[in-house]
Structure 1
Amino acid sequence: MSEVADAAGCSTTTVSHVLNGTRTVAAETRRRVEQAVSELGYHRRITRPGHAPRNLTAVGLTLSGLSNPYFSDLVQGVERELARAGRVLVLADTHDDPETERRAVASLLKHRIEALVMAPTAGWMRRTWPLLRERRVPFVLVDRIVDADVDQVGVENEPGACVLVEHLLSLGHRRVGMIAGLPGLSTTVEREIGYRRAHQRRRVEVDPSLIVCGDSSLDGGRRAALRLLDRADRPTALFSGNNAMTVGALTALEDRDVAVPGDMAVVAFDDFEFSPLVRPRLTAAAQPCHAMGARAVQLLLRRLTSPGLPAQTVRIPASIEHRDSCGCERARASVARDRRPASVRPETAQVGRPEASAVG
């Protein structure tokens, strides 16, 4: 199936939907899959219900919000790397609820998965980790880093947030609001640390009341933005902590007729595929989601091969996609340049440590 997917230019999941009729697939994509099946001589292995082939090994993946474009890219990275290793992927959505996560993991273990990749919930150590230790199942955490001796892969959250917020402060903004994610998540904590560090570096005092929880959701982001807009001393710039909250915040700004970046400069963590099409185009920290998923699988395979190796934490840098929403001179200049064909890529800066990074 992975060979068919590569030949057809799609994912193995799409190939599965075409072969099994489990979801509607675009006509052109279906045609390419069927052509690849014919040319490669692919034949499905037929098994009785509930009887998988003995040489088929499965790896579980638990995360929240499977419809989120961010996690879609991560899933593709995991799936592609597992396919290369001759393994299949089984997905479960935790809805960012610790008890749902525990039940999902228990269900996956019941179906005899070989190992597990997890984007852990805030309460995973109390409920899910004891289950994993009891069953002695190899696992790797992805996206959300924890203070534990386990294999894990995540992005450089703090430097990316610091660079974005420091850029706003360098433009003269002194009241920068932050829409923060779900409490207890490492991504939420680290991005707030980056926000605070940017203020420290620019010698600007942080107003804690400008940090508002957006619950890592679209509705939460909208409510948080409205709270900031309703203040008599509302901020002049806004930093959103993830893509869902950013969409909610932009909706709130539009509802209140607040022009971006004229009335409110906006930057965000998490880029999304259609960001260049939104007006104004969003200045954002782009996460290497596909690479994180692939690297998590590599760590997992390493753990399966050599169980005694020490745990490893891998951090992958984010990159800054500098566009229009921050409202600086460079952004205004890029508007003129972007009257070129859409194939021309926006300027990108890779972010590692804040000291070595700059925007604008």
Structure 2
Amino acid sequence: MPTMDDVARLAGVSVSTVSHVLNGTRNVNPATRQRVDAAIVEIGYRRNVVARSLAAGRTHTVGLSIAALTNPYFGSLVHAVEERLSEAGYVLILGDSHDEPRSERRVTDSLLDRQVDGMILAPAAGSEFSTIPEIVRSGTPLVLIDRMLDVSCDQVGPENDASAYELTTHLLDAGHRRIAIVRGIEGISSTTERFDGYTRALADRGVELDPRLILDGRSNVEVAESRVRELMSGPDRPSALVSMNNSMTIGSLKAVRGLGLSIPADLAFVCYDDFEWSDLFEPRLTAAAQDVQTIGRTAADLVLRRIEGHEDEPRSIRVPTTFTHRNSCGCTAPRADMPAAPER
């Protein structure tokens, strides 16, 4: 592997001059700089960033553990986090937790072994009992993203309860009473909060909760498709459906289409999470849209503050969703986009 000595010998300069060129620590004559740059290219020299990082006590990396490959929404979230970290001179190291505790622990242990300067975590079910304590013990700055827990660290995520409440109330206002729900992974805070919003809306209107209309879609396209197909194939199917994330929305739409049914003629449909292509096909989805850019960049800002040494009280930030009224709910007079109602 080429060294700085090799570069200096080829360029005909001292090792300290090569160092100044690489690190920008002193002005170097343009002709000399050009010779050093040419030597670096010719022999393929690369700086030992690991050694420099160890000496400085910083790696300028941040770890992110998230179910990036199994949920389309998380892909946009990862992009927003990476963009902000890159602006600050940090590199993002991504590990896919698959929303499974053992996979999550394997990912976070590997990130800690790599001496990341900070960690951002979309916690899997039970993370507060295993993964999070281990990160805290390591002293690595930690920020939770998307899912909020009763733990002492910075957190940022979307508003869930009031958004699900508004989606369900919208269907109730349209006269629906048999409203089914496809909910996400059990034990995850976002699943619990969105389900609470749904049940609260029914209770406020005096509509009894029907267990037969509660579908566990596990935040999975295939599982949601199977559950919705089974429900909609029965004799007493609902008149409306609320899907609680975009993976399950895809599965739900596949099930309805596979049965030859039409939205909204046969089933009014609303969903949590929006798609950038929602206005490009029929039905156009009535949805609670998350501000993914704000959530991702805020998480990055929070972890950067901790890396810089800020020791103020942990912050918990809820980012409002936006209610976007299209035609999948079957209404004839769409409202303008508006923020979801504040959480009660």
Q: TM-score, normalised by structure 2?
A: 0.82
Equivalent residues of 1:156, 1:352 under 8 A apart:
no
Task: Measure, in 2, the Cα distance between the counterparts of 1:257 and 1:53.
Answer: 62
- Aligned partner (choices 166, 169, 172) of residue 166 of structure 1: 169
SS at match of 1:330: coil
* Matching of residue 350 in structure 1 with residue 339 in structure 2: yes
Equivalent residues of 1:153, 1:314 under 8 A apart:
yes
- Aligned partner (choices 302, 307, 330) of residue 305 of structure 2: 302
Task: Measure, in 1, the Cα distance between the counterparts of 2:312 and 2:49.
Answer: 35
* Matching of residue 144 in structure 1 with residue 147 in structure 2: yes
Equivalent residues of 1:162, 1:354 under 8 A apart:
no
Equivalent residues of 2:242, 2:269 under 8 A apart:
yes
SS at match of 2:91: strand
SS at match of 2:276: coil
Match of 2:261 in 1: 258
Deviation at 1:206, TM superposition (A): 1.7
Deviation at 1:56, TM superposition (A): 5.1
Equivalent positions of 1:239-318 (< 5 A) are 239-318=242-321
Deviation at 1:279, TM superposition (A): 0.7
Match of 1:47 in 2: 46
Deviation at 1:150, TM superposition (A): 1.7
Aligned residues: 300
Task: Measure, in 1, the Cα distance between the counterparts of 2:210 and 2:291.
Answer: 31
- Is 103-112 or 130-139 further displaced after alignment? 130-139
- Aligned partner (choices 187, 190, 213) of residue 190 of structure 2: 187
Task: Measure, in 2, the Cα distance between the counterparts of 1:91 and 1:221.
Answer: 27
Task: Measure, in 1, the Cα distance between the counterparts of 2:205 and 2:70.
Answer: 38
Deviation at 1:354, TM superposition (A): 5.9
Equivalent residues of 2:128, 2:149 under 8 A apart:
no
SS at match of 1:291: helix
Q: RMSD value over aligned CA atoms?
A: 2.2
Q: Where does structure 1 differ by over 4 angstroms across 4 or more consecutive aligned residues?
A: 43-46, 48-53
Q: Give percent identity, aligned residues only.
A: 41
* Matching of residue 119 in structure 1 with residue 122 in structure 2: yes
- Aligned partner (choices 77, 82, 103) of residue 79 of structure 1: 82
Match of 1:38 in 2: none
User: CA offsets, 1:82-123, max 9 Å, x none?
Assistant: 122211111000001101110101111111110100111012
Deviation at 1:305, TM superposition (A): 2.9
Give the partner amino acid of 2:114: H
Give the partner amino acid of 1:319: T
Equivalent residues of 2:128, 2:151 under 8 A apart:
no
Equivalent residues of 2:157, 2:317 under 8 A apart:
yes
Task: Measure, in 1, the Cα distance between the counterparts of 2:72 and 2:221.
Answer: 13
Deviation at 1:270, TM superposition (A): 0.6
User: CA 1:108–1:313 in structure 2 vs 1: closer, same or farther (change >3 Å)?
Assistant: same
- Is 110-119 or 71-80 further displaced after alignment? 71-80
Deviation at 1:210, TM superposition (A): 0.8
Equivalent residues of 1:180, 1:216 under 8 A apart:
yes
Task: Measure, in 2, the Cα distance between the counterparts of 1:140 and 1:309.
Answer: 14
User: CA offsets, 1:170-219, max 9 Å, x none?
Assistant: 11101000001010011100110110111122222221221110010101
Match of 2:204 in 1: 201
Match of 1:93 in 2: 96
SS at match of 1:239: strand
Give the partner amino acid of 1:272: F
Task: Measure, in 2, the Cα distance between the counterparts of 1:238 and 1:46.
Answer: 59
Task: Measure, in 1, the Cα distance between the counterparts of 2:299 and 2:325.
Answer: 28
Deviation at 1:289, TM superposition (A): 1.0
Match of 1:26 in 2: none
SS at match of 2:333: helix
Equivalent residues of 2:70, 2:98 under 8 A apart:
no
User: CA offsets, 1:2-52, max 9 Å, x none?
Assistant: xxxxxxxxxxxxxxxxxxxxxxxxxxxxxxxxxxxxxxxxx9995268847
Task: Measure, in 1, the Cα distance between the counterparts of 2:45 and 2:182.
Answer: 50
- Is 72-81 or 114-123 further displaced after alignment? 72-81
Deviation at 1:160, TM superposition (A): 0.7
- Aligned partner (choices 209, 214, 239) of residue 211 of structure 1: 214
SS at match of 1:235: coil
* Matching of residue 234 in structure 1 with residue 234 in structure 2: no
Task: Measure, in 1, the Cα distance between the counterparts of 2:81 and 2:311.
Answer: 23
Give the partner amino acid of 2:340: V
Deviation at 1:67, TM superposition (A): 6.1
